[in-house]
A and B are shown apart, each in its own frame.
Chain A
């Protein structure tokens, strides 16, 4: 069978408050830590939703919109850069699984 790309996979996810343009991010990332002292930038490859990316200069960026609340980054980041909370039901993002 055809193997899906990550954007195709994330396209199947039902996110909450998708119509809202302003959402309150439930994860805050201090990318200054990523881009100064972190030796591995692991979130850019272990995150199952690729919320962490590296630009051409090798700098780490974070976006919360695709987050599926798995928790991976909270454990993988051993540099103290990730502050993780659950999304607010009204003004946050996060997921509603159809199957789970």
Chain B
């Protein structure tokens, strides 16, 4: 491995693997380095991979009997909860049943390993079958720079050289900080901590309980009582024979409210609506990971320098604007775009800063940055304290009154709603949040 690579990719998560797959297909010579025992072994997500870019990387991936994904999503649910009740917006459609699917639930240890296998296959079919590598178990300690240009990486005593480096190291982006594209200390303000359990069921039980058929699956997000007053929300996704259940919690809010993630997770699991969903299951893994929030105020502004690009969560490309928690699809698209930019850079033999900038330009032009830019108000709205307690309490209170049949004269729904508003908030609160909501949507 003495020769120089066209590209060294740091991190075999979704972004790094998408970049690697694209480079392999474009006949580029690259080295993909992963610090874990195997690709995926240190990666955690909720997690649904939204959109259909996976089909670009692995065409007709659904035809494989035991592909790396667990279930496709055809059932979405958003649940507001107070202490005793839950009020859901529920949407299920056979429209989502046909491939290419628009969302698949994945478990990263399995999914990333599978995708890495596909990358190995693509390498074998490329001109560099013997010269491109996926190399796990290696920790990159330093990005090497010479004359203001990135020239490679160092791991322990070993140095590897390349015309370009893609940093796809995840949210805890130490190398991105080292090269000066992210502040050395990133404050807790717009970061969240995710905690999750994998709960196993008999597959029939799971499928009957969640009304799944074949490989269909459900995603459920939760707002309100789930987080015990801390900014954030809950999620539940159905895997093949397990569910992923967890919370994302605002880190600054956790610190200020002196709360503990795993205690809040138990609080969430005890809620009657959630307890009914997970009864009888066996917890088989507990995990946690920091995630970014999609708030542009903390995202690295510049994602490139001469010979280097930053992709995926290392660039804080993740957003929850209320519709879905999107991160892996952003990672995938950014990895593809970075690899395409590097392919062009090789053709032009130009790895200068100006050449690398074409990656960020392409990202700005893509749905990734268009959505992140367009939905900043929605990100702020979701983190408004009103959304954590008053709104879900109000909705559940209204639901309880609306669905109670008492053999006595029934109030009109709008009067019931008015009572709920007065009890849990005020009309002024609603006007304020309505104005924010109108702006956000």
Residue ranges of A at the interface with B (Cβ–Cβ < 8 Å): 1, 3-4, 6, 9-10, 12-13, 16, 40, 42, 45-46, 48-49, 68-72, 74-76, 78, 80, 84-89, 94-100
Known contacts: A70-B289, A71-B171. The answer to whether A97 contacts B251 by CB under 8 A is no
CA distance A95 to B285 in the complex (A): 12
CA distance A32 to B416 in the complex (A): 57
The closest CB in chain B to the CB of A90 belongs to B137
Considering only residues 397-415 of chain B, those with a C-beta below 8 Å from chain A are none
CA distance A68 to B242 in the complex (A): 21
CA distance A71 to B313 in the complex (A): 13
CA distance A84 to B289 in the complex (A): 14
B144 CB-CB contact with A under 8 Å: no
The closest CB in chain B to the CB of A45 belongs to B260
- 4 further A-B contacts with Cβ under 8 Å, apart from A87-B139, A95-B42, A100-B108, are A69-B42, A71-B290, A89-B139, A99-B242
B279 CB-CB contact with A under 8 Å: yes
B37 CB-CB contact with A under 8 Å: yes
Kindly list chain B residues whose C-beta atoms are within 8 Å of the C-beta of A12: 283-286
Would you list the 5 A-B pairs with minimal beta carbon distance, nearest first? A100-B108, A9-B286, A48-B288, A100-B109, A71-B290
The closest CB in chain B to the CB of A89 belongs to B137
Known contacts: A1-B279, A45-B259, A85-B174. The answer to whether A72 contacts B251 by CB under 8 A is yes
CA distance A48 to B259 in the complex (A): 11
Q: Are A75 and B290 in contact (CB under 8 A)?
A: yes
Taking the nearest CB of chain B, how far is it from the CB of A92, in angstroms? 8
Known contacts: A3-B266, A80-B185, A88-B139. The answer to whether A98 contacts B109 by CB under 8 A is yes
Known contacts: A46-B260, A72-B288. The answer to whether A99 contacts B137 by CB under 8 A is no
CA distance A98 to B196 in the complex (A): 13
Selected A-B contacts with CB under 8 Å, 21 pairs: A3-B266, A4-B266, A6-B262, A10-B286, A12-B284, A46-B259, A69-B42, A70-B44, A70-B193, A75-B191, A76-B255, A78-B185, A86-B35, A89-B36, A89-B37, A95-B287, A97-B44, A99-B110, A99-B242, A100-B42, A100-B108
CA distance A89 to B112 in the complex (A): 19
Known contacts: A9-B283, A46-B255, A75-B290. The answer to whether A100 contacts B262 by CB under 8 A is no
Q: Are A13 and B42 in contact (CB under 8 A)?
A: no
Kindly list chain B residues whose C-beta atoms are within 8 Å of the C-beta of A4: 197, 266, 283, 286
CA distance A13 to B286 in the complex (A): 7
Tally B residues with Cβ within 8 Å of A.
Answer: 56
Binary contact track B307-337/A, C-beta < 8 Å → 1, others 0: 0000000000000000000000000000000
Considering only residues 152-207 of chain B, those with a C-beta below 8 Å from chain A are 171-172, 174, 185-188, 191, 193, 195, 197-199
CA distance A3 to B275 in the complex (A): 10
Kindly list chain B residues whose C-beta atoms are within 8 Å of the C-beta of A68: 287-288
Taking the nearest CB of chain B, how far is it from the CB of A71, in angstroms? 4
Kindly list chain B residues whose C-beta atoms are within 8 Å of the C-beta of A6: 262
B107 CB-CB contact with A under 8 Å: yes
Kindly list chain B residues whose C-beta atoms are within 8 Å of the C-beta of A97: 40-44, 108-109, 285, 287
B254 CB-CB contact with A under 8 Å: yes
Considering only residues 83-134 of chain B, those with a C-beta below 8 Å from chain A are 107-110, 112
Taking the nearest CB of chain B, how far is it from the CB of A69, in angstroms? 7
B45 CB-CB contact with A under 8 Å: yes
B3 CB-CB contact with A under 8 Å: no
Kindly list chain A residues whose C-beta atoms are within 8 Å of the C-beta of B394: none
Taking the nearest CB of chain A, how far is it from the CB of B310, in angstroms? 17
Binary contact track B359-401/A, C-beta < 8 Å → 1, others 0: 0000000000000000000000000000000000000000000
CA distance A94 to B262 in the complex (A): 19
Taking the nearest CB of chain A, how far is it from the CB of B255, in angstroms? 4
